Amino acid sequence: MEVSIIRLEKAPDGLFGAMLVDGKVFCVTVENTIALIPCGTYTARRYFSPARQEQVWQLLDVEGRSFIQIHPANKAGELLGCIAVGQYWGKLHGTPDERAVLNSGNTFHLLMDMTKDEEEITVVVSEHYHGGTA
């Protein structure tokens, strides 16, 4: 199974993109612009995260990095190199000037359910910025 993360917009409140699963749009993503993983193709393996107390996808062989995961989170500030998924972009209550991905937990669990028969997946990270915001 191939998961593609396409980075679409780099902004002060995060790097926003889309996730495709086997070529079909599945959800939106957010990353922290301070600790981005390099674009490329990675193998991800199921990993039990002690911090999250659940299975996540962990990217392997990210140069100079470890424990890079796909997991639920809402804002870029909650991430340090990981990728968060959500149903759509929006703003959280109390943070009117900061964008986020919303319905992250449910979206993440849908992804894990969709990939429940997989022990490894391929994750391709690429950039396709709109409006020259790179």
pLDDT tens for 38-77 read 999 999 999 999 988 999 999 999 998 999 999 999 999 9
> Structure tokens of 132?
């020259």
35 pLDDT band, cuts 50/70/90, is confident
What does the domain layout of the chain look like in residue ranges?
Answer: 2-127
Q: What is the DSSP letter of 97?
A: T
Q: Residue 87: how many CA atoms within 13 Å on its side-chain side?
A: 8
The yes-or-no verdict on residue 126 having pLDDT over 60 is: yes
pLDDT tens for 69-114 read 999 999 999 998 999 999 999 988 877 778 999 999 999 999 999 9
Spatial separation of the C-alpha atoms in residues 7 and 30, rounded to whole Å: 9
Q: In degrees rounded to 5, what are phi and psi of residue 89? A: -85, 150
